[in-house]
Amino acid sequence: MKVHWKIVLIMLTAVAASQFAVGAVSGEQNGDRSHQDLALGIFGDANMDGVIDEMDVAYVEGIIKGTNAATNLSDADYDGKIDEGDITQIEHIMQGTEKEITFIDYVGRIVTLKEPIDRIIALDHYGCEMVRAVKANNRLVAGMRGPDYWPELVDKPEVGGYEEPDYEAIVDLKPDVVITSQLGDPRTEEILEPAGIPVVRLDFYKPKDFVRNVQLLGIILGQEKEAGEVIDFFQKYLNTVQERVETLKADEKKRVYYEGSDYKSVAEGSGWHEWIEMAGGANIFAGAGASNVAVDPEEILKRNPQLVWRSGPGDYIPPNSSEMEALYNTLISRPGWDKLDAVKNNQVHIMTYWNSKGCAKLIAITYLAKYLYPEMFQDIDPEAVAREWYEKYQGVEYKGGYVYPPKG
């Protein structure tokens, strides 16, 4: 794997040394740390400055001489001791000639992968999307299936999904790595790693964790340049949206009601809550407790949202427009909804669930920001963002028809 360390590693800035002590077992879980506290770390960044270079060689030399203190990441070859072998490993990483690399995944597990990675299984939809986005889908031996969105996987063996993997099928395929979600079957590591199959848990769902997960995926697959392009695409729009909505005062933020299914909404802790906030909205059920909540219809009327966003039917293949229209008419005809500001001002919108989750979150955020504050985002075309995601980063045809009403 050739590592371009200009994609700067987001390092472990606030982790006690004991949590990543030298000599820990590959793949072990690091205590009770939540993924929100975890940053990306590659063993070999001895001085923990976010770049692997000659400074790390010098730092390890200082550890050997006794003039520098060992750090969480100074055991580059992860053999339990700091010696000349770590200097050699750092030099290999710098040259892109390392035979294995050790890092910390999204849930805080220390994982060692042998290089190169030629056979990949991705057990969740988002992992498959991101493997494809960084142009490594030719190495997928199994993953998310579907004749339209996943033509490259149609003839591949079925291996189940992240919640219920088919472990026998996975072992038979002899992958170099299995990529799964932090929400996947907790037995995945204990079943696959004894068979010599390393497991990496990544998450591409929540916007706040997106960059570090894409960076890590690019590094372990040797696709750093491509990962950087994906990050640039997302950041270009997300930064623009956030910079503009940051100028809004609390009482200027418009009230938003999100509905995943009938009277099911979201609160703090959910991805959709994050997206509403990032678009400059105020989630009317932010403090409702659990991240996904059943809501009282009367409470919606009391809180009077200025915009309603409903996840609708369809996936990559958009639904028939009559389905979207029927759902729209059902929503605006609910008892009392004619009094809502959102209905009175034609601010009820539906987007297919497929296009408002996971890696496609950017599409939803740009649409939502423009619906909320059209005067602030005259220069952003959400449909063009969606088209670019599908055509450039997924390599599939843009179908359109994912939102209703079509022009918002």
Contact between 302 and 296 under an 8 Å Cβ cutoff? The reply is: no
7 exposure class (CB count in 10 Å sphere: 0-12, 13-18, 19+): middle
The model carries a pTM of 0.83
Amino acid 71: pLDDT: 94
Pair 86, 60: CB distance under 8 Å: yes
**Does residue 14 sit in the same domain as residue 134?**
no
Same domain, 258 and 372: yes
Residues 334 and 238 in one domain: no
pLDDT, average across residues 230-246: 95
Distance CA 280, CA 58 (A): 46
pLDDT beyond 60 at 28 = no
- 98 neighbors 112 (Cβ within 8 angstroms): no
Count helices and strands (H / E) in the chain.
Answer: 13, 14
**Do 266 and 216 sit in the same domain of this protein?**
no
pLDDT surpassing 50 at residue 125: yes
The per-residue pLDDT for 341 is 98
Cβ contact 309:256 at 8 Å: yes
* pLDDT score recorded for residue 146: 66
pLDDT digits (tens, 9 = 90+) for 182-214: 999 999 999 999 999 999 999 888 777 888 899
Task: Give residue-wise pLDDT tens across range 266-286.
Answer: 999 888 898 899 999 999 999
CB-based burial of residue 150 (10 Å sphere; 0-12 exposed, 13-18 middle, 19+ buried)?
A: buried
Among 113, 136, 155, the domain-final residue is 113
What are the tokens at 148? Answer: 């339209």
| Local confidence band at 16 (pLDDT 50, 70, 90 cut-offs) | very low
Same structural domain, 95 and 171: no
Q: What is the pLDDT of residue 407?
A: 67
Is the predicted pLDDT of residue 13 greater than 90, yes or no? no
Residue 2 maps to which CATH number? 1.10.1330.10
What is the reported pLDDT for 129?
Answer: 92
> Which of 224, 246, 268 finishes a domain?
246
Q: Which of 246, 262, 285 is the last residue of a domain?
A: 246
Asked whether residue 99 falls in the same domain as residue 174, the answer is no
Q: What is the CATH number of the domain that holds 389?
A: 3.40.50.1980
Residues spanned by the domain of 158: 116-246
Confidence label for 40 from pLDDT (cuts 50, 70 and 90): low
What is the number of domains present in the chain? 3
pLDDT in tens, 59-118: 999 999 999 999 999 999 999 999 999 999 999 988 888 899 999 999 999 999 999 999
Q: What was the pLDDT predicted at 298?
A: 98
pLDDT at 4 over 60: no
Are both 191 and 45 inside the same structural domain? no
For residues 232 and 294, state if they share a domain.
Answer: no
pLDDT of residue 209: 81
Residues 139 and 231 in one domain: yes
pLDDT at 359 over 50: yes
Question: Are 315 and 202 within one domain?
Answer: no
- In this structure, of 38-52, 67-81, 82-96, 301-315, the range with the lowest mean pLDDT score is 38-52
Same domain (yes/no): 58, 87? yes
Identity at 118, one-letter amino acid code: D
Structure confidence by residue, pLDDT tens digits, 132-187: 999 999 999 999 776 678 888 888 999 999 999 999 999 999 999 999 999 999 99
* 17 and 162 housed in the same domain: no
Higher pLDDT, 15 or 51: 51
- Count Cβ neighbours within 10 Å for each residue of 35-52 and write b for 16 or more, e otherwise: beebebbbbbbbbbebbb
Question: In the chain, what percentage of residues exceed pLDDT 70?
Answer: 89
In this prediction, residue 289 carries a pLDDT of: 76
